[in-house]
Amino acid sequence: MSTIVKQNILVGSLEHVKERGCIVVTGGGHTIAVFYHEGQAHAVDNRCPHMGFPLDRGSVKDGILTCHWHHARFDLAGGGTFNPFADDVRTFPCIVVDGEVWVDPYPPPRDENRHWQRRLNDGMEHNIRLVIAKAVLGLEAAGADYTVPLKIGAEFGTTYSADGWSAAMSILTCTANILPELREEDRPRALYQGLLHVARECAGKAPRFPIDPLPTGEMRPEVFSAWFRNFIEVRDEEGAERCLATAIEVGVSREDIARMIFTAATDHIYLDSGHVVDFANKAFELLDHLGWDMAGQVLPSLVHGMARARRSEELSQWRSPIDISSMVWEARRGLPSLLDRSHSRSGGWHEEDSLALAILDDSPKAIISSINESIVAGATAEQLGAAVAHAAFLRMAHFHTSNEFRDWDTVHNTLTAANGLHQALKRVPSPELLRGVYDVAMSIYLDRFLNLPPMPLPAIASNHESSTEILGRLLDMVNVRHQVEESAKAVSDYLAGDGHSENLMSTMGRIMLREDADFHSFQILDAAFKQFASRKCAESARHVMIGLSRFLAAHSPTPRAEGQTFQIALRLQRGEEIYR
């Protein structure tokens, strides 16, 4: 005879369970459905793991329990599901003693961290957003660090896309970057959106098959760099990837690898409209979060995009009516002698804001001259990057809404390219990467028609609202379309007051995350946070936040479908009943 453990719950006689088909009992904080099937009793959590529908209202046939809401099916005896969207249902030990059915409501605890990691992989593989949302929340509740879901997303996104690094991988990196600036409750929402984009991007795609490193004793960074640049030059993807994989494997330093990649990324003019530098920068930012151990997995995924990138000197707008590409090549050739004449070691140049305004000039020749004069006067690579980023945000701040809606993306693209270059210059301030400053400055020049006429910046007003009221107003106003100027004014008002800049950033984060935010929204939020954080007290910081607020307001509201799914996951985690 089996021993009845004290904690077990008496369900009733087996005959009674058979007669009723299912009996519901409670214990151990659970509501448990006990089913009769083929002479045995089986106990499962009465809450369907999909969206909480009571399973006692389901039906059992041939040992399969079917939930009657979305028809998820479970093996009644083991609890495993046949439908990945649902998850396995928890089972409880059930015994029959002297014709009485007893249930143990305290089964061994589940390893929540492991369970939700597995479920996150399921959600990514099958592109199921509710599963991804639940897994992100489950991992957070299990005490997992944000790098746990981030790493799963990074491994997935760099494995299951033959095209390598994608916009979705950049979104995922942006979510990790912005986390510290978000309110605590918005952080899992951000990770969920980033992971969801990766799952969507990879859905139905062929995987990427990595190339093994060379069996070589070569370890010199300059040799790998020469090989790599050469392979990218002739668009030999496989050669470039094998070279990069080998350099990482033999232990070439992180700095030398970065220099090698960013040099190849600027050997031609403005590759893929700045995306090559921007994506490379994002890949290094991802490694900042996950550690250099992931370099062999992450960095080779950049090669496909680098080798196939469109070179802007091939584009008509860079050749005619003004041959901008020739001007850029000439400037690039003159860079070494400018750097020789530069007073950069003195650190006495502080004209970033003036240079930013000069980059908005109508003459490409004058723009290049201003950059050259700044270099000779001692501007550092980082300062030059900051100036082009500021100029790009000014284009956004002055973007006129009489342009076509799609033109927001044109100024946005230059802006994120400028920010990517600026961040890369902070990481690797090499003369080769400095060539990118001319490229981005010329892209800002090409976007000048989107500031014709320039939309004026909001006046700096003395306001009578508290900072909290302004942020509340800002959140409300972008529930309505076309609040571009109104939101810029609210941001300007906030910055004129004594509100904390952290609260403004977290509010901007919330504004974006409640929408179905796309690649551009994530990119601009991440870029704006970085640019704003480094200029908090300057007028240029106001330009950054005005540019950000105008872009987000122009793209709000959306149907907010992603947020609704996340909200369902949150309510399920809290034990709320969704089906009523």
Using CB under 6 A as the criterion, which residues of the chain lie in contact with ligand FES when the complex forms?
Answer: 48, 50-51, 53, 67, 69-70, 72, 86
Quick one: 89 or 421, whose CB is closer to ligand FES? 89
Q: Which helix (H) or strand (E) holds 11?
A: strand 9-13
**How many C-beta atoms surround the C-beta of residue 111 within 10 A?**
11
Segment 405-412 long-range contacts (CB within 8 Å, at least 24 positions apart): 405/554, 407/450, 408/520, 408/551, 408/554, 408/555, 409/520, 410/447, 410/450, 411/447, 411/450, 412/520, 412/523, 412/524, 412/551
Q: How far is the CB of 70 from ligand FES (least distance, A)?
A: 3
Residue type, 550: R
Quick one: 134 or 395, whose CB is closer to ligand FES? 134
Q: How far is the CB of 45 from ligand FES (least distance, A)?
A: 12
Q: How far is the CB of 111 from ligand FES (least distance, A)?
A: 24
Q: How far apart are CA 9 and CA 27, in angstroms?
A: 7
Q: How far is the CB of 48 from ligand FES (least distance, A)?
A: 3
Quick one: 86 or 132, whose CB is closer to ligand FES? 86
Quick one: 61 or 481, whose CB is closer to ligand FES? 61
Q: How far is the CB of 578 from ligand FES (least distance, A)?
A: 8
List, in sequence order, every beta strand (DSSP E) within 14-157.
22-27, 30-37, 40-45, 59-61, 64-66, 73-75, 91-92, 94-97, 100-103
Quick one: 360 or 572, whose CB is closer to ligand FES? 572
Residue with tokens 């946005």: 412
Q: How far is the CB of 31 from ligand FES (least distance, A)?
A: 14
Q: How far apart are CA 332 and CA 327, in angstroms?
A: 9
Longest distance between any two alpha carbons in the chain, whole Å: 97
Quick one: 122 or 485, whose CB is closer to ligand FES? 122
Quick one: 360 or 568, whose CB is closer to ligand FES? 568
Q: How far is the CB of 246 from ligand FES (least distance, A)?
A: 50
CA count, 13 A, side-chain hemisphere, 341: 10
Residue type, 143: G
Q: How far is the CB of 72 from ligand FES (least distance, A)?
A: 4
Quick one: 86 or 243, whose CB is closer to ligand FES? 86
* Tokens, residue 570: 């949150």
The verdict on whether omega for the bond into residue 458 sits within 30 degrees of 0, i.e. cis, is no
